[in-house]
Structure 1
Amino acid sequence: MNTPQPVDLLIAPQWIVPVVPRGLVLQEHALIIDAGHILDILPLADVRQRYLPRQSHHLPSQAVMPGLINLHTHAAMSLMRGLADDIALMPWLKEHIWPAEHAFVSEAFVNDGTLLACAEMIRGGTTCFADMYFYPMATASAVKQAGMRASLGLVVIDFPTGYAADADDYINKGLAARDALSGISTLSTIFAPHAPYTVGDRTFEKLLTFSGQLDLGIHVHLHETQAEITESVAQYGIRPLQRLANLGLLGPGLIAAHGVHLTQTEIELLAEHGCHIAHCPTSNLKLASGIAPVADLLTHAVNVGLGTDGAASNNRLDMFGEMRMAALLAKGASGNAEVLQAWRALEMATLNAAQALGLDGVIGSLEIGKAADLIAVDLSDVETQPCFDVVSHLVYAAGRSEVTHVWVEGRCLLSEGQLTTLDRREVLEKAKLWQKRLQAKSM
């Protein structure tokens, strides 16, 4: 008789939703975690003979699924949640957000704002996020403290801020951050030129060169508003996407945040080059930017992931909310109830987003060998009963309040709804201090 193998962790829920293979839901199965990775997924009846776990979680009313991935956000902007609401994008930026950033954004602001965002995201089942903001090293510090996974955007803009003096300064500071963070398994980096209306051709060309040399992707706001497109035509004679295409930036390393206003030809261009869209339905609605043509993007096999955008424009970092919103909005906009089914919305918030970040070999699904980034969702209460279809419930019925456990690389960040790596009281105290400073400035 074989001796059972010692392992770190056994997780035995009512359901396992691995995402791959598509549509599969396992019952009476367990996940075996060791050294931060998924070692096995097997029938619960077989566990005792094969494994000796040091720790076990029996979750009789939970569904365990991959951790959610927020494909586009500005984590530190959580400190500006509700600062300026019910305003269109450009007035929101120029009259409220950019002045506040000029006055307050610093390493301390970014660290504290990111800690607030991480606390919210962990409690909502998000294990990884793609960020785009200043001071990436401060963001990294907060992410490491929280224990999350992140793709850190190396922001580049053509005008000066407190963070950098010019485009070259942004690039140099970004490259220094990339070097400093290399080798940390939970952190990756990506170039993050803000948008075509804040970045010139010369800067884009430099980023393209560095991107090719260093194998770094590019994460950029693109076709978020009609005004952005109108201004591009007036200044450059072409729409922003065509401008990026002419510069050679389109490819499988490009994540286009928003992609609201796209023609059929532009969708075909994105598909041809293997680009990705970070769909942010709630932020787009709140800023009245429009509704992205998700049905057409999916028809053309463009990879679409989900993001929240920043809490300053959403005002929630709630990926369960984004899944539901994306599915409902696509149906309403297309007139086709089958266009974005629950399983597809779940893929957009997990595997599709991982693919966009080049991390689909590591996260995004529960498969043997992948990192143990996973969450447990309780489906036993009145809001989620009866349960005929687990995947449907995860998208349409459950919410972030049902998340009970979160693990990243097998490390528990949330246990029975309680944060384990962050001090909730300390995070709240820091947020209140920044609120007082921001309010005092605006008075």
Structure 2
Amino acid sequence: MQAELLIHAQWVLPVDPKNRQLTDHAVAIADGRIQAVLPYEEARRSIQAERVIELPGHALIPGLVNAHTHAAMTLMRGLADDLPLMTWLHDHIWPTEKRWVDPSFVGDGTRLAVLEMLRGGVTCYNDMYFYPEVTAQVTAEAGMRAVIGMIVVDFPTGYADSADQYIAKGLALQDQYRDHPLIRVAFAPHSPYAVSDAPLQRLAALADELEVPIHLHLHETHDEVVQSLRDHGERPFARIDRLGLMGPSLASIHMTQLEDDEIQRLAETGAHVVHCPESNLKLASGFCPVAKLLSAGVNVALGTDGAASNNDLNLLGEMRTAALLGKGVANSAAAVPAHAALRMATINGAKALGLDDEIGSLEVGKSADLVAVDLRDSHTQPLYNPTSHLVYAAGRHQVRQVWIQGHQVIKDGAPLTLNPAETISAAQVWGSRLAEHHQG
């Protein structure tokens, strides 16, 4: 067999159905796809590779999938900390967005986010923000994979003045990136409290017609549920279900306020949950019942949320928090084991975005989106179980190599497709502007 690249790692964690941990294996890559995953000695005999990369002490894993974020909000990192969600939104974030968010803001903020995510082993992310065409362009230029949300809200912003205009712009974005190798799109109505019935029903029909996902904040806080009962006479979950959005195309974000019948309905419909544990903890929004969801057969993915409420885009750290919090909420040390947390950050995220045939595991025929994590550091030694160390001990500074579609984007920890100095300088300029305005 001919291959362009053969990567030999001490451990290969393919995140396959058996959750195997393969020792002294190699992954062969050609034309941006995985050709084989096999023992290294066998690979040496059977594969003629143009280039061989040796990674002793490394774990090779699928690229991480950040299934929910707002990339450009990195420019608001730390702007309004230690506040409850609605105070944070109404008094700080939304006024700042109204004053500052434009294509330049989104471009520079997205570039900063992409740099951070790539360095942390994230190869694909699912975004929701204004000026999604800018987010898509910056992400594609960096060689990163993304699902770009076609944002919809009822109220006017600098980006659009009505739900109809948001949808029209989203459909234009869908046409532009229909055949792009790295960029997909999803409808992204912000939340039930920010979008009225008619646009939500229209999005349900369009998502079905175009076969694209729907990305929606849902049941994030107790107050959201109380408000919906007051204004609509039903819980947000029931309203979304009644309007036709509940199904396999829906990625429902947060889901901290769930009753048992709602968990069962999620399983029946095939809708996905994206868990954002650190953002939920920081905003005191509540606890997603991850162990219950997984036991019911619901696909649970993992997201960071935006850096304005997290305050980082560190999916390795999110895995650890998800595993620990899942145990605490379930009152069981066996709940959300390490291999389940790794699946949430890889194949489950890919499935929630409709990309599980393409990414999320190291299997023959899939795109070569891979991450090498160096486990030789002091805090990941001695090593008994590489999956456990990835979840409970490793840090993102140990991400050393990253490939997307077989193209290397991080080499020895350094980015190859972005200029860190320019990216950070642009962020600092925005920081000075926003700080002066926010304090004033």
Is 1:20 matched with 2:16?
A: yes
Distance 1:414 1:170 in 2: 35
- Paired amino acid for 2:254: H
Is 1:429 matched with 2:429?
A: no
Residue 333 of structure 1 corresponds to which residue in structure 2?
329
Distance 1:28 1:296 in 2: 36
Is 1:36 matched with 2:27?
A: no
Residue 272 of structure 1 corresponds to which residue in structure 2?
268
Is 1:395 matched with 2:391?
A: yes
Residue 128 of structure 1 corresponds to which residue in structure 2?
124
Distance 2:153 2:385 in 1: 46
Paired residues, what number?
439
Q: What are the equivalent positions in structure 2 for 1:41-190 lying under 5 Å apart?
A: 41-190=37-186
Distance 2:268 2:22 in 1: 36
Distance 1:21 1:194 in 2: 33
Gaps of 5+ in 1: none
Q: What are the equivalent positions in structure 2 for 1:256-267 lying under 5 Å apart?
A: 256-267=252-263
User: Which residue among 396, 405, 408 is the counterpart of 1:409?
Assistant: 405
Distance 1:304 1:426 in 2: 36
Distance 2:232 2:309 in 1: 28
Distance 1:263 1:25 in 2: 36
Q: What are the equivalent positions in structure 2 for 1:171-320 lying under 5 Å apart?
A: 171-320=167-316
Which SS does the other structure have where 1:343 is aligned? helix
Distance 1:168 1:292 in 2: 33
If the length of structure 2 is used for normalisation, what is the TM-score? 0.98
Which SS does the other structure have where 2:116 is aligned? helix
- Paired amino acid for 1:368: V
Deviation for aligned residue 1:21: 3.6
Deviation for aligned residue 1:46: 2.4
State which drifts further: 146-155 or 37-46.
Answer: 37-46
- Paired amino acid for 1:433: V
User: Deviation per CA, 1:357-381, whole angstroms, max 9, x where unpaired?
Assistant: 1111100000000000010001111
- Paired amino acid for 1:31: V
State which drifts further: 38-47 or 350-359.
Answer: 38-47
Which SS does the other structure have where 2:373 is aligned? strand
Distance 2:149 2:95 in 1: 21
Deviation for aligned residue 1:182: 1.3
User: Deviation per CA, 1:372-402, whole angstroms, max 9, x where unpaired?
Assistant: 0010001111110000011111100111111
State which drifts further: 363-372 or 264-273.
Answer: 264-273
Identical aligned pairs, as a percentage?
A: 51
Distance 2:350 2:262 in 1: 23
User: Which residue among 368, 378, 384 is the counterpart of 1:382?
Assistant: 378
Q: CA RMSD in A?
A: 0.9
Deviation for aligned residue 1:213: 1.3
Distance 1:336 1:434 in 2: 45
Deviation for aligned residue 1:6: 3.7
Deviation for aligned residue 1:422: 0.5
Distance 1:87 1:171 in 2: 32
- Paired amino acid for 1:271: A
Is 1:362 matched with 2:350?
A: no
If the length of structure 1 is used for normalisation, what is the TM-score? 0.98
Deviation for aligned residue 1:47: 2.5
Distance 1:302 1:18 in 2: 21
Gaps of 5+ in 2: none
Distance 1:49 1:291 in 2: 51
Distance 2:117 2:64 in 1: 9
Deviation for aligned residue 1:265: 1.1
